[in-house]
Structure formats: C-alpha cells, structure tokens
Amino acid sequence: MPISVEQHRDLWLENGLTDAPVSVNVPGRAWRMYFPAETERLVKTTLFTASKISIESLKNLASSFPASPENNRDLFVATMMWGRGPKNGRMMPKFKLAASHHGFDETLSMTRETVASGHLRQAHSLWVSSGTTGIRESFFTKWLFVCSLSKGSNVLRAVTLDSRVRASVKTIGWPDAALRKTLRGKPSLFYEQYVQVLYRWARELSSQCATVVPLDVEQFLYRKNGDVPMAD
C-alpha cells in the first residue's frame, strides 16, 4: 500500500511546510573567476538583487531565456549559483569540469527539451548517460528543476533530489521494501517515482485552508534533512 502522509498535515504545517523558499547569497568574485562570460551576462539582467538569487528569479530567467547554447549555459550557471549558495566553494572546480565536458551543450539542450515535455525519467537518464562528470544527482536535478520552472504546458515538473531530501523520505519510510527492490539499480526510475510521490503527497497535504504544491514538500524535506516530525 502506498505510504500516506495525510496524518502528518497539521504537524507539518505547524513546522513550516509552506514556508516560502529563501533567496541565497551569491559570491560574485568566485563566479566571475570560473564563469566570467556567463556571470557578466547574468548580472546585466534583472536576475540579481543585492547579490542574491531566488527560485522566483530562476523562474523568470527560465521563462525569458529561449533555448540556445548560450542561454542554456547562462541558465545552468544561474542554477548552480543558487544550488551552491554563499559557501561550498569546493564545488566551483566541479561546476567548471561539468561545463567543460565535450557534449555539455547538447546535454543541456536535450535535457531542457525533455523536461519541458514532462519526460523526467528520460531527462534524468540522458544526463546520466551523457557521461558528464563533476556534479552528481544533487546538483544536476537542480538543473532539471529549473528547466521545469519555465512557463508551459501542464506536465509533470521536476524537483531536486539530494542527500538531505533522501534522508527525510527515508525517515517517512519511502520507498518501502517492495518498492526499493523494484527501484534498485534504476536511478532514473527512482527519480521519476520520487517526483510522482511528491505530487501525491502534495495532494494529500492540501486542504481548504492550505494548498500544498510539490515544491513545498521538497523544500520542507530539504530543510528537515531527516529530522521530519511524525504524528503518532
């Protein structure tokens, strides 16, 4: 039987389930050092406010930047700015390594197009099979997530899957033993199932008093980092 979270609704709402995502600080010097061209183009947009970046600004950027090699790279760098935040400077060479992969522009183009059509398992698989090194699922699913932010048809939209979220869904008990067996060794299918369960949980957690969306659930699980309050 699928794991339900409806019984936790009130407790999770009390503990910040629908708190708005916060903007993160961007250390401009580091980004100008590693990605000078992309950073220069980004600062000329309305993306930054006092050297901060938010999901809302990423949504505006994704919606206003039509797909092209240059725009895709700018959107990728903006995504990594948000994902890295003010610390975690050790990631800078890894971002550069990923962006230097011989097929990187094609990977960005194909995954962005595939996400736009709602085929998230395929998008995840395309990234994995591309052989791009430097960043792993915690960061490349951020790219898939930002690609989902652009205005478009009502399709299944990506969300981030990182170690903090994994710790939280494990606390909840997802996936259960039977599903773990099915998903073992199939990371792209695991990702698709994860997105689908967040959609289902968002519906279960919504009420007349509060509408919950999958991003609310993902951000809540991220903030809790495994320490998820559970109703008796």
The pTM assigned to this predicted structure is 0.96
**Residues with Cβ within 8 Å of residue 45, at least 6 apart in sequence:** 61
Tell me: pLDDT of 198 over 90. yes
Go through the chain and tell me how many residues it has.
Answer: 232
Q: Give the β-pairing of 52-53 and 24-25.
A: antiparallel
- The Cβ-side half-sphere exposure at 32, using a 13 Å CA radius, reads 6
pLDDT at site 169: 98
Residue 189: closest CA among 138, 112, 122: 122
Strongest mean pLDDT among 20-24, 86-90, 107-111: 107-111
pLDDT in tens, 33-53: 999 999 999 999 888 777 999
Residues 209-215, mean pLDDT to the nearest whole number: 94
